[in-house]
Chain A
Amino acid sequence: MAADLRRGRLTPLGWAGLLIGAAIMLAPLIWTLLLSLKNNGELVGHSEAALHGPYTLQNYAAIFGNSLTLRWLLNSTIVALGQTAGVLILASLAGYGFARLDFPFRRTLYIFVLVGLAVPSQAVILVQHQLFAWLRLHNSYPGLILPGLIAPFGVFFMTTYMRGIPRELDEAAMLDGASRWTIFWKIIMPLTVPAQSTLAVFTFLGAWNDYWWPLISATRSDMYTLTVGLAAAQMNYAQTSGLGYLMAQAVFASIPIFIIYIIFQKQIVRAMAGTAVR
């Protein structure tokens, strides 16, 4: 099969394998979608009712009936985009510094950044919360975005990627009189687009799905992100007496991510493949 793949062809057995794999991957998603289209009462004790009609959009209507749902959607979008933009800017600048510049304590600082990879966010959540309380940043967009900008993985990722770009390019540009900033902006950055795309996808997904920090920082319902807001909207025992609504929430929360995948599918696949090869 590997040889066939290299030749760009698949045997019937290969096709069958792929189809089975795709079915296994799709089954829980389709099941979620079907459950979301059923009346909650019908699903109490009979989740197999999702396999046949009648179907209804009442669970989705209930989501939109909550006047704050669109606000939560907007909050999530602002926070996810803000964190993604911030991480890309900071990680690119730091990565370039660590990969290309000589400055005192460079190795020590880099190790310090790498140590950050080993520190779980939960370990610093108390002091982080206290700091943001002292700065009066809870229940604000900066309060939700700033912690996400601490991205040691992003710095590590961009440093590694930039180290793989030949130094001769920098040297040639310097001979032509380019400044450090020009080299960074016009030579290096365009070459890092695949890495930037990968990092952007990971950062956006992480920010979009984050629950713990928004839960304790955004304590006013108008500042909830979508994950926190949808969880708050659930009634007790939602998994039994409100299963359809619960699944509709899951589908609704994943729609923006799904749309992003559809729009940027080529770039994402290219970025992943490019990064993997490199």
Chain B
Amino acid sequence: MKRTAAILLAILLGSCAKSDGKTHIYLQRFFGECGAEYGGSTDIAKAEGECGIITTMINRFNAENPDIQLDVNVVAWPGYPQLTAQVAARDPPDLVTMHEGVISDYAAKGLVEPVDGYLRAAGVSPDGFTEAAKQGVTMYGHIYALPWDTHGGLFHVNTALFAKAGLMRGGKPVLPNTADELISQARQFEQRTGKPYLIQSNVGDPAFAARNLYTYMIAKGAVLFPDAHHIRLNTPVGVEVAAFFRRINAEKLGSQNMDTPGAIAAFVSGEGGIYPTGTWMIGSFEQEATTPGRPLYKNYAVYPYPHLWGEHVEFVSGHSWVVPTRKRTPQQRDAIARFFKFMAAHNYDWVRTGHIPAFKAVLDDPRFKALPHRADIAPLATIGRPLPSNVQRQNAIEGIVGEEAAAAFTGQKSIPQALAQAERRVNDLLSQID
């Protein structure tokens, strides 16, 4: 009974406001919880993985700023239902991790603050952002977040299978320069290895198909969003891009009926040549590539999506830090600016995760270039193109477009039917926004 009372008292006291003389900042993030391994760590260089690095960086910030306490709230990915609920309850956090494509949903309603003032106070110039990062956080004439990285699709390559297929030159995989070249290389690969050239996660992974459609439509100069309330996919360019991926599936040059875990498992098991997935998988695949006995051991390379036609550009997004609108003391505003300064100064540490830096200086940093594969994927920072920042609901739109595009690519629907349905569903969604 006494023990129960003590526990209840501890809970009660734990709920009371803190009065330790520190400026408390309520930080909310995803990337998971790894307090067991990194709870007390402040050595950023020794941390690994998204969770380990972000946890250690926050610990380090708290250690270097004894007058500030970052109270961390880890949310289930991606955390937007919780954030929206917090905003509705008028109790949002002070700092939140946010995908750049989502910022406009909140910025349009004034639910997040422009951060120009915080950046000035921190001495962080937007001119130092990479072009992709700057585009991702700029809207309505203001900077709405501290960009944190750029992430997008990459061609993860099994070089052992590429060698078997005769597609290696000078120790590097030969990637196509045109759509026809990709088809012919894929046929050669399939004939010589008996395995699919592309590993595809067309099941339950709408981001996969949407990424492919967006990237190669933008490359052909398509304007996906003519205005903030309309998408345009059912065009000759859209049909041509979809027909290209349909052809890959019709000729069985890509794996069939795989979801994301299935596709990842297939790639690390050496069951296909290329897995087009994101920057976030580099760490896991590199681990396979450095583990003796595994199919990818010393046989892994990674590059941005190849140029197949038009301009060499690629659809990208990025992680960022936003500041939800609420009343704050000058001390809290100063603490947020100091946090921005700290995070900008440690952008290199974050991009060890596999993401592309949000700062030009880090792109040129010899330490970054020395990281495995980073020199090969660094062009993503310049060829990356985020979706227009004035278009809201990009998460939901990606889900719809990806679902319909996958149906078109795999032949479940005719291409014009799938693209028309994607257009109609997205335009219906956007028409509901004031």
Contacts and interface: CB of A to CB of B under 8 A. Distances in A.
B17 interface: no
A78 to B, nearest CB: 9
A133 B76 CA distance: 21
Contacts of B36: 61-66
Contact of B77 (A66, A217, A222, A236): A236
A232 B85 contact: no
Size class of the B contact interface (CB-based, 8 Å):
35 or more
Given A133-B90, A216-B81, 9 more contacts: A66-B33, A129-B88, A130-B88, A132-B89, A215-B81, A235-B31, A235-B49, A236-B32, A236-B280
A233 B32 contact: yes
Interface of B is mostly: helix
B31 A236 contact: yes
A44 B265 contact: yes
Contacts of A239: 260-261
A129 B85 contact: yes
Interface of A: 41, 44-47, 61-68, 74, 129-130, 132-133, 138-139, 215-217, 219-222, 228, 231-243
Contacts of B264: 44-45, 237, 240
B170 to A, nearest CB: 29
Given A129-B88, A239-B261, A221 B74 contact: yes
B14 A231 contact: no
A51 B51 CA distance: 29
Interface string B272-284: 0000000011001
A228 to B, nearest CB: 7
Contacts of B149: none
A204 to B, nearest CB: 20
B91 A219 contact: yes
Contacts of A130: 88
Contacts of A215: 76, 81-82, 85
A247 to B, nearest CB: 13
Nearest to B284: A241
Contact of A236 (B50, B81, B86, B287): B50
Nearest to B89: A133
A207 B172 CA distance: 56
A240 B50 CA distance: 15
A10 B76 CA distance: 49
A216 B50 contact: no
B35 A228 contact: no
A250 to B, nearest CB: 15
A41 B287 contact: yes
B261 A138 contact: no
14 contacts: A44-B284, A45-B267, A45-B268, A46-B269, A65-B37, A129-B88, A133-B89, A138-B89, A215-B76, A219-B91, A228-B76, A233-B74, A237-B260, A237-B281
B73 interface: yes
Contacts of A68: 33, 35
A68 B14 CA distance: 12
B7 interface: yes
B288 A216 contact: no
A41 B268 CA distance: 11
B30 interface: yes
Q: Which 10 A-B pairs have the closest CB atoms?
A: A65-B36, A235-B32, A45-B268, A216-B85, A233-B33, A133-B89, A231-B76, A45-B265, A232-B76, A62-B36
A129 B89 contact: yes
Interface in B361-410: none
